[in-house]
Structure 1
Amino acid sequence: MGGDRERRARGRHLSDAVERLLDRRVGRLTGEPGRSVSTTHGIALLALLLTLSYAAFFITYDLSTFAPLIVFNLAMGVIYVLCILLARLGRQLGAALLTLGAAVVQLLVASAYVGWDAGLHLFMLLGAQLVFMVFTEAQRVLRWVWAFVALFGFLACQFLLPASSAIVQMPPVLLNALFSVNALLTSSILFILAALSHFRAERARRRAAELAARAEYLANTDVLTGLANRRPVMERLERLSVEGGEPYCLAIADLDHFKDINDRYGHACGDRVLADIGSRLSASVRVTDSVGRWGGEEFVFVITDAELPDALVSMERVRAAIGGVSVACMGHEHSITVSIGLTEGEYDGSPHHAIRRADEALYASKAGGRDRVSVIEAGSPTAADAALVHAETREPS
């Protein structure tokens, strides 16, 4: 026995370790770090494509003159490939720093070679947008550092690297054409990044709304039975109990001898019974009525737009639905009955008097032999002087 316990303990420890490892791995690839990795991967891929395109252009235009710049661009292409590999491995920070650093250096060198008039330095303006996408909130200091670096690089090219002092003098017509192309590319990428940021923000908003709705559902729902818990039931009773509220009746039901099931067959079987009963209760009431788990094996019903005789018929239907079919559980069946206490609603701003009367009516059903519905009319503060009406057990109409 001791050996079995030790093996189970080791198994649990191993399972927990694997789960923690998976959580850390998933954490790097999902959420904000995951978005930063995917953005960095896309930017590095775009930079690689632009680098190869300009290398091809300079090869076509004048291979001998631009040979050093072509070799430099090809070397930067290798660095961008490394950035892509880092991003694929989930190395968010390393990929982001290397991608931005390589881009700034490459644009400075290219602008020094042909002058800012070609518009290559315009791509540095993308840094103000990219830093918020490739760095996470935890790395916000790096966002401002690299935004400053990109702005400083742009101004340095604009004021210190004109075409007149460039390493290679290109025709003004060609410089103007290059400037137009680069300006168009820069504005197009900025538009795409802005659209992507909007899409991500909208998706995050929808996700937050879904999580809020899920949290509200969990806060108002009993997980075991799928019924409402006390909170939404009490909120509805509070609304109905105001002066001039619509007519309503209140009932509290309790499963008979439920403790015996838990004691004899275990709580797992008891939970199976409660889940089955919850499904039957949901199907046994009107759409306009409410049913919730009051606590333990007790359930509460709010029957709206109904007088006591109508509510009594509804509760008899519930009693018959529960007692009419046995609940199968782990190879055995349980015949379940229910005792119900019913009363009229109150309109003095609080449902507590009605709740107390329904509870007393429930005790009267228990004392009267169980598997029945008992009614205490409004105006009867205690069970001692209540006008108790017993409804005989009968088949549902």
Structure 2
Amino acid sequence: MKRLIFEPEHDQLRQTARTFVEREVAPNAAKWEANRIVDRSAYRAAGRYGLIGFNIPEEFGGGGSDDFRFNAVIVEEIAKFGFLTPALSVHNDIVGPYFTSLGTLAQKERWLPGYASGELIGAIAMSEPGAGSDLAGIRTTAVRSGDDWILNGAKTFISAGINADLVIVVARTDPGAGRKGFSLLVVERGMTGFERGRKLDKMGQPAQDTAELHFTDVRVPAGNLLGEQNRGFYHLMANLPSERLSIAIAAVAGARETYRQTLQYAKERTAFGQSIGSFQHNRFVLAELDTELDIAEQYVDRCLRAVVDGELTAVDAAKAKWWCTELAKRVIDACLQLHGGYGYMNEYKVAKDFVDTRIQTIYGGTTEIMKDLIGRSLGL
């Protein structure tokens, strides 16, 4: 089914993203996975290709377009390849908007040029050992001391935690104010008391560095407060819908590519003298997957249009996020089954996809949290 959401300029960027994957990612993928981290040069290369910073104002070195369809094109093309999607998505779709929407002029002049070029890498630190989806459980604190904030606490499951030069840390700045007591502080590489812990050993996406971060009496200048003091919770809520839509986009695009390869395999692989795809059961499975992916893609495009029009709601994004990630999990599981024993072999992409996609129903808000958000919107 033809997708009407994209225009010629988006198709042009899509080709650029494909070239980036072919020339810069594919030749280095095995090395990055073995090292369990994407080399920083990949971000700089993405900057040269114009794949980061396009939504940063031109005066700060960016492309000057806030059209989220450009984000979607990049996410889709990289998701087709695999593991690098979280790295660039965190940079473009999750962290970047905080700097562009909340940063002061001085902060933008200081950070955005390097961010747009890929010289500076960003991360956001919300989750803690005792607080994941429940932000009310955050214990990291920041206390004002003269011209600084004194930051103490620990974070975990932080994407790009090892590579990051700028970490947006969610901290309590008014302990008795509940959700009205959080602020966002930008911690920079090299600040005294800021230490990176383990590079976490995950079951999938090994090249996406995910780390523990520790803050011990870190003096964060008052000028590194991002947004308004004690409004951090509301800043987070404003950015979460586009983050969740980005995850949904990646889920559908990645699953679609796994399906495409599986369909080809089903046509070529034979059993009992015929292609495995020609057996009625398998043909029905493939038909069902194709249908479900088409339907999910249409809803994603509807949400994408809503972003462009400034109308995407948190509820619509939650629907896209939970449905598309759960669908991707089911699609890839079915694709692995259709590969038989070969699907369990790591030399086949479907095996990697099976473990790499599993996290999508968890990060960015679990499926259960998404359903609860939707349920509450129904007055339940």
Structure 1 length-normalised TM: 0.27
- Which of the two has greater strand per residue? 2
* Greater relative CO (CA pairs within 8 A, separation 6+): 2
TM-score by length of 2: 0.28
Task: Give 1 or 2: higher helix fraction.
Answer: 1
Larger radius of gyration: 1
